[in-house]
Structures are given as structure tokens and as C-alpha cells.
Copies of this chain bind each other. A is one copy, B any other.
Amino acid sequence: MDLVIGIDIGATKTKIGLVNKEGHCLETNYFRTREYPDLEEYLDTIIENINHLTSKFPEDINILGCGIGAPNASSRHGTIVNASNLVWKGTVPILDKMKERLPLPMKIMNDASAAALGEMLFGNARGMRDFIVITLGTGFGAGIVANGQLIEGHDGFAGELGHIDMTIGDGRLTGLGVHGGLEAYVSATGLKRTILYMMCKYMDDSRFRNIAYNDLHGEDITKAAAEGDPIAIRAFDYTGNILGLALANFTAFTQPSAIFLMGGLVNSGKWIFEPMHRYFEEYLLDIYKGKVEILRSGLPPKTTAICGAAALIWQEHWEK
């Protein structure tokens, strides 16, 4: 049986899985990324996990290659560069170091671009030629497909939409030092920052007045909104507003037929989707109205990123 190793390097977790031709993740494992500030140890741990996963298959399996999705990854250079949410700083030559340990065809890509490929090969974007995938996790990532091809950019760094400035240089600072960057508003972290902003702006009573910033979690904000907490409701409306505006802006760029949302913030359900839809329709140019669907991923939520990473390798075998 042919299989591809998919690795998702996330700020919180590193997920590893074995993915078959249909995009099913047959075996999976994960560990906490932050526990390995030493890169060599981190990569050794990945290899141990891969060996553990492949040992579960008694029959003959044929590993075709290994695909890696990571924030701020350059597909052209095989590096991760200045990833604000990862522990390793500067330029990390991750592909070369992985190849020393694992002699297989290997590719790395920005995690959201990998997710877009996964959606195109295995998910709800099958047959689509123009779409955008947005990942709303610790940060804000984007994978853009136009004319049926992933846009990688001149140097492999296309789609860093979390660092687009929405405020003419006068807004919240992102982890990369961008004032007004989208990620500082629309992400799990952005939502937490908006809770502070709303408590500063309004005098509403809220459970969050008794909780320190570092103890705030996305799930708690969703729960609070469901229970009528006015600060949580205001925070979701504000976040949905900026997300809706951003998606309207993105539409003016490549005019996708669909935008897929995935990642932790999507779990807030109607609290984020309802205002996002409302503001999106309000901001969208007339020429685009009714022509852009906002959809959820067609891949299993827990293994979306692994499937995306594996798609980097599967894509080449499909094309053959």
C-alpha cells in the first residue's frame, strides 16, 4: 500500500500521520512543539514518531515521501523564516535537516497553502480553479489557488495575509511587528486581545474582568457568548466585522468562487460566522455579490493539516 507521511508543524502541537491516496489519515500521532526548543531534538522526535507509526503496519507499505506544513515556510528554499509563533528564530533550514534523517522525497510549504492543496485533492475544493483557504488558529494563514494552481510567489512566501495592514499603519502590532496586521485581530489570539479592547472601551460587566489575559481561552469566550456575556458578544461582532472585511478585500484580489475557513476559531460556530457573513455581504462589491461561497473544510477537522501536508507529495503522484 502506498502512503505519504504528513507533518503539520504547529505553534502548539506537531501532528504526524500516514495518508493514503484517498486522503484518509490511517495512523496519527502528536506531541507538543514547545517542549523542544532545541531543533535537533525536535527533529529526532519527529523521526521517532514516524518510526512508531510505520511499525504499526505489519504488511508491506511503500512510503512515497514526506510533506511538511509549517507557518512562514518557503517552498522554494525549504526553510522556515521568522515564524513569530514558533520557538526557533531566524531562518531554519528544516528540509535539509529532515533529509539527513529521512532519505525520501520531501517538500515543505506554508501550512495554509498545504491546507489549500489538501482541500483541492481530497476535500471540498475538488474541481475548483479559484479559491482561498484561511486558517484561523494561533495566527492567520492563507493558501491561494488561482487558475487551478497554488500561488507560491516569486520566492515561496505568497499568502502571508495575516500581516496585511488593515488600518493605514495605525493599529495593533503583530508578532512580526506589523501595525494593524490582520492576524492581530482575526485569530484565536486576536479574539483574546479584542476581549481586552472591549473591556477597555465599554463598562459592561463580564466574567472576563476576573480572568487574566494569559488565562483566557477561545473556548471560554464562545461559552461566555452563548451565556449572554456582553463583552464576549461584542468581541465576536468586532472580530466578525474585520474578518468579513478582509474576505471582501481578498475577493477583489483573485475573485475566488469559494473561501474555506478552518482552524480553532471556526469552532466558535455561529458566534464568528454570523457577523462575518453579515459584514462580508455589506463590504463586498456589487460585481462579486452572490458569487463567493464561504465554506468549511471537507477534510476531517483533526487531520486537515496532516492531509494538506501529505497532499504536497500526493499531488505529484496524481499528476503522473
Residues of A within 8 A of B (CB): 72, 74, 81-82, 129-130, 144, 146-147, 149, 151-161, 163-169, 171, 176, 178, 241-242, 245, 248-249, 252-257, 279, 283, 285-288, 291-292
Q: Report how far A38 CA is from B195 CA in the complex, Å.
A: 55
Decide if B245 touches A158 in the complex (CB within 8 Å): no
Query: Given A253-B158, A253-B159, A255-B158, are A245 and B285 also a contact pair (CB < 8 Å)?
Result: no
| A164 and B130 contact, CB distance less than 8 A | no
Could you say which of B149, B168, B252, B287 contacts A82, with CB atoms under 8 Å apart? B287
B157 and A288 form a contact (CB under 8 A): yes
Nearest chain-B residue to A166 (Cβ)? Answer: B168
When A168-B242, A242-B168, A287-B160 are in contact, do A155 and B255 touch as well, CB less than 8 Å? yes
Residue contact A169 to B252, C-beta cutoff 8 Å: no
B residues in contact with A81, CB < 8 Å: 287
Given A167-B168, A168-B167; A72-B287 close (CB under 8 Å)? yes
Taken together as a complex, chains A and B put the C-alpha atoms of A292 and B155 apart, in Å, by 10
Shortest CB–CB separation between residue A73 and chain B, in angstroms?
11
Known: A153-B256, A165-B249, A178-B285. 11 other contacts (CB 8 A): A82-B286, A146-B149, A149-B149, A154-B291, A154-B292, A155-B257, A157-B287, A160-B255, A168-B242, A169-B241, A253-B253
The CB with the most chain B CB atoms within 10 A, among A161, A164, A256, is that of A164
| Given A149-B147, A169-B241: A286 in contact with B253 (beta carbons within 8 A) | no
CB <8 Å contact, A144 and B253: yes
- Can you report 29 A-B residue pairs in the complex whose CB atoms are below 8 A from each other? A74-B287, A130-B154, A130-B158, A146-B149, A146-B153, A147-B147, A149-B149, A152-B255, A153-B254, A154-B256, A154-B257, A154-B292, A155-B255, A155-B288, A155-B291, A157-B255, A157-B287, A157-B288, A160-B252, A164-B249, A164-B253, A165-B249, A167-B168, A168-B241, A168-B245, A169-B241, A169-B279, A176-B285, A253-B253
